[in-house]
Amino acid sequence: MSTTAKTHPELSEVFNKDEQRVNWHDETLWWIRQKRDKSAHSIPEWEVLREKASQIKNNALSNLAEYLVSFEEKALANGIIVHWAADAQEHNQIVHQILQKHDIRQLVKSKSMLTEECHLNEYLEKQGLEVIDSDLGERIVQLAKEPPSHIVLPCIHKKKEEIGDLFHQHLGVAAGTSDPQILTEAARVHLRETFLTRRAALTGVNFAIAETGEFVVCTNEGNADMGAHLADVHIACMGIEKIIPKRKHLGVFLRLLARSATGQPITTYSSHFKKPRAGQEMHLVLVDNGRTVQMGREDFRASLKCIRCGACMNTCPVYRRSGGHSYHYAISGPIGAILAPNLDREKYADLPFASTLCGSCSNVCPVKIDIHQQLYKWRQVIVQEGYATSGKKMSMKIMNYTLSSPGVYKTAGKAGRWVLKYIPFAVNNHFNPWYKQREMPEVPKESFGEWYKKNVK
C-alpha cells in the first residue's frame, strides 16, 4: 500500500484497484448483514429492545459520574484494583507499571479495541515487552503487522491464502496451506502455548455494572477466559462509557450485541469477572481519552452509546467497498468516522465525508445512535473550523453566488449548462472525477425553465 496515500478517498482508491477483492469483501460483509437481519427478524420485539438499550445508555451517560463512582466503590470492595487514565498515554503507562511491578515481560491480550485506540502494543513493544493477541483474527493482523480493519472481524480483509502464507512464515505450517481447519488448528496450538506460559493477561470490557462492580467480557473463542484464568495478573481496560447501571440491564445488551454483530443469538462466552481468584491480582483501568470532551458536545454525545457490535460497518455500502484500513483510525466505518474527529479534527477531517448519508447505519445500530446525522453535523463543524480545501471553498462560494440569484443562474445555465461544472460535483472546479468512469448526462436542447416559458407561460 502506498505510504503517501493518507485520506479515505486515496486509500479506498488503492483498495479498489483489485476489484475481485472488493467484491469478495463486500459479499462477505453483506452475508453477515443478512445473518443479522434474519436473527433480528426472529425477535418480534427487536425494535422495542433497541429502544430500551438506547434509553439505558442515555441514562448511563446522563448520570455517568455517579455510576462510575458507584462502580469503583463496588469494584474496590470486590478486591479489584482500580486505576483512572485521562488519556492514551496514561493508560499505557499504567499497564506498563503493573507489568513492571511483577517483572513480567510478556503479555497475552484478548481483543480490546480500546488498547488499539491507545496504541498499547506499539508502546509496550518499544519498552521491550512482548504482546501476543490471542483472538485469532487479531493474531493474524498482528503477524501481518497491520491494525485490525474491523472491530469484530479484525482480519476480514484477508483471504485464507494470505493467512496461510503468514502462518507459513511465522508458525511453521506447510507452504501453500489454505484449509481453514488446518490453519485454525495451527493457531490453536500456538495460542495454547501462549496462554500456558504468560503470567499476565489483558482483556477488554464489554459491560461494567455500576450496581455490582463486576464486568463482562464477550468473546467467541473463549480466549479472554483462557488468558485471565491462567494468568497471575489480569488487567482489564475499559472506556468510561462502558458502564451500565444494573445487572438486570445486561440481558437487553447481550441479546442485541451478538445478533447485531454476527447474527448469533449470543456470543459463545459472556464471562463475568467480579473479583480476583485466590492468589491472582485483578486490575481495572478506566480510560477517558477524549470521552468527556465528546460528552460535552451535545450533537455528538450519543456516539458514546456504542457497544461496538460492528453492525454499522457490515451494513455500510461505503465500508464494504473501501475496507477498514481506509479509515486510518482504530475504529473504522460509520461509528469510527464520528468518533475520530473528536480526537483530531485535522487528521480525520476526511472521515465524515466518507459516506453517502444513506442512513442504513442508524437503522441497524442496536442502541439507536443517529450516526448519519452526526456525520452531517461533523461536516459542518469541520468546514467551519477551516479544514476544507481552498478549491472546495471557492467552488462553494461560486455556487452560492449563482444559486442565490435567478438571473445569474439562468444566464450561467444557458452559457453551456453552467451546472455541468458545479452541481452536484462541486469540488475542485473540475469535472474529471465524474468522467473517469462515468459518461456525462446528455445536454438537452432546453432547460425545464425554458420549456415552461414556451409552453405554459
Partner 1 sequence: MKRVGLFIPCYVDQFYPNAGIATYQLLKKLGLDVTYPTGQTCCGQPMANSGFEHLTGDCNQLFVDNFAEFDYIVSPSGSCVLHLKEHLHTEKSEPQAAAIRTKVYELVEFLVDVLQVKNLKAKFPYKVGLHQSCHGQRGLLLTQMSELVAPYFSKPQQLLAQVEGLELINLKREDECCGFGGTFCVVEEAVSVKMGKDRVKDHQANGAEYITGADMSCLMHMEGILKRENSNVKVLHIAEILNAG
Which residues sit at the interface with ligand SF4, rule CB under 6 A? 260, 306-312, 335, 364-367, 369, 371
Among 4, 415, 436, 454, binds partner 1 (CB under 8 A): 436
Q: Point out which span in 62-70, 157-165, 228-236, 414-422 binds partner 1 (CB under 8 A).
A: 414-422
CA dihedral sign, ordered 290, 291, 293, 294: positive
Distance, in Å, from the CA atom of 136 to the CA atom of 141, rounded to the nearest integer, reads 9
429 secondary structure, DSSP code: T
For partner 1, the closer CB: 3 or 437: 437
For ligand SF4, the closer CB: 225 or 241: 241
Name, in order, each residue with C-beta under 8 angstroms of 454's C-beta and a sequence gap of 6 or more.
446
Q: Point out which span in 82-90, 130-138, 247-255, 381-389 binds partner 1 (CB under 8 A).
A: 381-389
Q: β-pairing, 200-203 with 106-109?
A: parallel
Instruction: Mark residue 434 as left, alpha or beta (left: phi above 0; alpha: psi -120 to 50; beta: remaining).
Output: alpha
Per-residue binding letters, 308-347, with partner 1 (x by CB under 8 A): -------x-xx--xx-------------------------
Q: Point out which span in 146-154, 201-209, 332-340, 406-414 binds partner 1 (CB under 8 A).
A: 406-414
Q: Point out which span in 149-157, 272-280, 291-299, 424-432 binds partner 1 (CB under 8 A).
A: 424-432
For partner 1, the closer CB: 179 or 446: 446
For partner 1, the closer CB: 175 or 456: 456
145 secondary structure, DSSP code: T
Cell of 180: 481453514
Count of residues in contact with partner 1, rule CB under 8 A: 83
Specify the DSSP element, H or E, that contains 448. Answer: helix 448-455
Q: Which does 425 bind (CB under 5 to 8 A by kind): ligand SF4, partner 1, none?
A: partner 1
Q: Which does 47 bind (CB under 5 to 8 A by kind): partner 1, ligand SF4, none?
A: partner 1
CB of 257 to ligand SF4, least distance (A): 8
For partner 1, the closer CB: 145 or 445: 445
CB of 133 to ligand SF4, least distance (A): 20
- For 44-104, give the DSSP string: TTHHHHHHHHHHHHHHHHHTHHHHHHHHHHHHHHHTPEEEEESSHHHHHHHHHHHHHHTT-
Residue 5 sits in the site that holds partner 1 (CB under 8 A): no
Residue 6 sits in the site that holds partner 1 (CB under 8 A): no
Residue 383 sits in the site that holds partner 1 (CB under 8 A): yes
Cell of 322: 473501501
Strand, helix or coil for residue 131? strand
Specify the DSSP element, H or E, that contains 215. Answer: strand 214-219
Residue 298 sits in the site that holds partner 1 (CB under 8 A): no
What are the backbone dihedrals phi and psi of residue 242, each rounded to the nearest 5 degrees, phi first?
A: -80, -5
For ligand SF4, the closer CB: 50 or 158: 50
For ligand SF4, the closer CB: 108 or 351: 351
Distance, in Å, from the CA atom of 22 to the CA atom of 121, rounded to the nearest integer, reads 29
Among 5, 26, 58, 82, binds partner 1 (CB under 8 A): 26
For partner 1, the closer CB: 189 or 451: 451
Q: Which does 355 bind (CB under 5 to 8 A by kind): partner 1, ligand SF4, none?
A: partner 1
Q: Point out which span in 121-129, 146-154, 207-215, 437-445 binds partner 1 (CB under 8 A).
A: 437-445
Cell of 234: 489480569
In Å, how far are 12, 62, 85, 125, 329 from 204, measured between CA atoms? 30, 23, 15, 19, 18
Residue 417 sits in the site that holds partner 1 (CB under 8 A): yes
Yes or no: say if 17 and 23 are a contact pair by the CB < 8 Å rule: no
